[in-house]
Amino acid sequence: MTTGKDRVLIFDTTMRDGEQSPGASMTLREKIDLAQLLEEMKVDICEAGFAAASEGDFECVRSIAENAKEMVICSLARSTLSDIDKAGEAIKKAKRPRIHTFISTSPVHMKHKLRMGENAVLEAIGASVSRARQHVDDVEWSPEDATRTDWDFLCRAIDTAIASGATTINIPDTVGYSHPAEYGALIRRLIETIPNSDKVVWSTHCHNDLGMAVANSLAGVINGARQVECAINGMGERAGNAALEEVVMALKVRGDSMPFETAIDSQKLSRASKMVSQITGFPVQYNKAIVGKNAFAHESGIHRDGMLKNNQTYEIMDPEDVGVPSTSLILGKLSGRNAFRDKLQALGYELEQDPLNDAFRRFKALADKKKHVFDEDIIALVDDQLTGAQERIKVASLKVMAGTAGPQTAEIELEIDGEIHAAQSQGNGPVDAVFNAIRAITQHEARLQLYQVHAVTEGTDAQATVSVRLAEDGLVSTGKASDPDTLVASARAYCHALSKLEVRKRKRIAA
Ligand code: KIV
Ligand code: ZN
């Protein structure tokens, strides 16, 4: 059935531009899981990384390319031939490979960053795009800082890229400086001016420094762009990129005045948001559009009253459309295995027999401590189990003495590669004591950059989700864990971050 709407391609850059957010790095396993979810969600193009950045990045792009089915897998590359060859090598096993190459075109970038004149930049564009075409038929080219580029030079640069074989032209608002009327007009004018503009797909890539990334992207679409580059939860450099979930839902909900459609299965948006938050340790703002905890909550009496009479009074979209079940069946200690499995399925989890058994056991233990087990509890529990399974350092037992009398003391047993190690430490408060005890066993130099606690649900019996970010020698890793006991969650989150950091250190040495 044709809807008569123009199709807009969704290009997800959570694993490339998103990972450039300070502290948001992801492991290979996490990227593979995320890529799988993006594929299920029907993302058109996944920018899996920047293959030439490091051996780790190369390996991530290569593995994702190997596992992808229908989704186009893309690697970013600067305009050097060696970068492009690395990208080509990393994506060569993808069923649908793409190379995305870029160079700065604005006067400020050319002068201070590249130290290149216009002719040299044009030459680099021709050489890089032609080289990329030797690897693949699908080549995207971006003039970095396009929105601050001189108009004539921008046209010459794009002409050169198209003449050299680019098939998608992406117009980055790299510093988030543009506004919707201006960005939309830029896209329109380029399409009207550039010869052969109908032979390429025009794409938006908007940063959110002034909070206008989504609005700018939509203005680009209204004016002829048919690809939007965006990231889950708006992850990305500085203030981030256009948020994928917001772009998708804006086009879906306002199809009346924006006659465009994407292929995205919007019911997976909430899950994708939670997964990215879980992996990176970046919490989602409560009032964030589409995926924030309060996006469908109604507090004031007037609003609640209206909602009870007819939900269209205050809701412009159905929570179920973004994967938030509206009538959330609460589970408790009498809930059986089937109810639990049905709930997992409704929340988008398909677990094999063993992990399902483990999850059910953990659910029963939680239900013993907590009267009502909400959807958020189950999501936290399963996500925690999936990450915990990959950890090398595990918390075997923990005992903490806290209170006004002091000194706060922690006794911990860690299981490392199957062996139990024990330590006791004091600290400036119970969390400090726990972390000192872990440090006494693991003897590492990592610095604690972030410690964050969130209650998964309301009430004093709520599970706590703790995020810990550690940094050592330029490497950063984030760990996350959930438990009704905040100190247990803290210890496990610390061990999770430490396990990830160790993997990164080993990879660096190997490289
Ligand atoms: O913001 C930007 O300009 C980029 C390019 C590499 C596309 O991320
Ligand atoms: Zn960017």
Q: Which ligand is nearest to the CA of 172?
A: 1
Residue 238 above 70 pLDDT? yes
> Which residue would you say has higher pLDDT here, 48 or 376?
48
Q: Give the mean model confidence (pLDDT) for residues 116-134.
A: 98
CB 240 less than 6 A from any atom of ligand 1 = no
Residue 327 above 60 pLDDT? no
Confidence of residue 419 (pLDDT cuts 50, 70, 90): very high
CB 101 within 8 A of CB 77: yes
CB 10 within 8 A of CB 45: yes
Q: Whose CA is nearest to atom 5 of ligand 1?
A: 144
Rg (CA), the chain: 24
In the reported structure, the alpha carbon of residue 14 is separated from the centroid of ligand 2 by a whole-number distance in angstroms of 10
**What was the pLDDT predicted at 337?**
86
Residue 163 above 60 pLDDT? yes
C-alpha 353/C-alpha 414 separation (Å) is: 27
CB 180 less than 6 A from any atom of ligand 1 = no
CB 243 within 8 A of CB 272: no
Poorest-pLDDT segment among 146-150, 225-229, 315-319, 424-428 = 315-319
CB 335 less than 6 A from any atom of ligand 1 = no
Q: Whose CA is nearest to atom 8 of ligand 1?
A: 17
CB 100 within 8 A of CB 76: yes
This prediction's pTM: 0.81
DSSP-assigned beta bridge partners for residue 37 = none
**What was the pLDDT predicted at 328?**
56
Question: How many CB atoms neighbour CB 289 within 10 A?
Answer: 14
> Which residue would you say has higher pLDDT here, 53 or 305?
53
Q: What share of the chain is helix, strand, coil (3-state, %, to 5)?
A: 45, 20, 35
**What was the pLDDT predicted at 462?**
79
Q: What are the phi and psi torsion angles at 397 (to 5°)?
A: -155, 155
Q: Give the mean model confidence (pLDDT) for residues 466-486.
A: 87
Distances (CA, A) of 466 to 281, 289, 420: 9, 23, 24
Condensed to tens digits (0 to 9), the pLDDT of residues 275-321 reads 999 888 888 998 999 999 888 876 656 666 666 677 777 678 988 89
Mean pLDDT of the chain: 91
Spatial CB neighbours of 80, under 8 Å, sequence gap ≥ 6: 128
- Which ligand 1 atom lies nearest to the CA of residue 207? 1
Residue in 14, 17, 21, 47 to alter for ligand 1 test, most ligand atoms within 8 A of Cβ: 17
Residue 509 above 80 pLDDT? no
Instruction: State in Å, rounded, how far the first CA of the chain is from the last one.
Output: 51
Q: Give the mean model confidence (pLDDT) for residues 337-345.
A: 86
Confidence of residue 143 (pLDDT cuts 50, 70, 90): very high
Amino acid at 219: A
Q: Whose CA is nearest to atom 1 of ligand 1?
A: 174
Three-class SS of residue 327?
Answer: coil
- In Å, how far from its chain's centre is CA 41? 14
**What was the pLDDT predicted at 344?**
86
Question: Position of tokens 């027999």?
Answer: 353
